Amino acid sequence: MCGRMTMTHPSDAMARLFDAVPANDLPLAPRYNICPTQAVGVICASPGRRSYRPMRWGFVPHWYKTPTDGPLLINARAETIAEKPAFGAAVRARRCLVPATGFYEWTKDEAGNRLPWYFMPSDSAPLVFAGVWQEWGQGAAVLRSFAIVTTAASPWMAVTHHREPVVLAPDDWARWLGETDEKAAPLMRSAPEGYYQRWRVDPKVNSNRAEGPALTQAIAV
């Protein structure tokens, strides 16, 4: 799963990495506690050149009367994404890349306290999650939103959580965005062994108001 993430790379660097045109209203980095319903920079396929634009984290299906009319859909399960009314059309026609630096997951101790862990690639390269996006509303009120695709956790990840976000290697970005004729379904799999590193971090990150680089620093356990 993925319920909180970080982005410490500046927008211009991300735009260059993806060869995308950046919007003027992208969220400023660094950010160490990005939460659902907040704006996140997302890469989309566009005629001529990719776009890098802000979208709300929390997919809003077209039939919602308001953005909060139903459950907050921050993740979409790879196993059922094509069959779900909320995501079926999006996974066929509106796939996106969601760049990040890392993300948090939680375990619980014997007393039921939530213990946060921070995950990032072992080589410290940017993370790229597979996502799907949607437009909701009309005219000036159009809201663009997205969900991160998740899959069953690898044995290594399952120690912390039974789900994990689908991550995409650079060679797979064009395929996920629909810029090639290859099918995208085979990309919805767990990360290879050794891809991640993880460590326990301060429970201060449990608050969605917490911010700052100290949130990602390892603590003694």
Q: Chain-wide mean pLDDT for the chain?
A: 96
CATH class of 5-216: alpha beta
Q: Are 40 and 7 in contact (CB under 8 A)?
A: yes
pLDDT value, residue 141? 83
> Helix, strand or coil for residue 172?
helix
Which listed residue (2, 44, 96, 164) is catalytic?
Answer: 2
Taking residues 29-50, what's their average pLDDT? 96
- pLDDT for residue 1 is more than 80: no
In the DSSP assignment, the letter for residue 28 is P
Establish whether 2 is a catalytic residue.
yes
Across the strands, what pairs with 57? Answer: 146
pLDDT in tens, 163-191: 999 999 999 999 999 999 999 999 999 99
pLDDT in tens, 68-113: 999 999 999 999 999 999 999 999 999 999 999 999 999 999 999 9
The domain locations on the chain are 5-216
Which listed residue (35, 44, 96, 105) is catalytic?
Answer: 105
pLDDT value, residue 44? 98
Helix (H), strand (E) at residue 63: none
pLDDT in tens, 119-147: 999 999 999 999 999 999 988 789 999 99
- E-assigned strands of the chain? 5-7, 20-22, 31-34, 39-44, 50-57, 75-77, 95-100, 102-108, 114-121, 127-136, 143-152, 163-165, 196-200
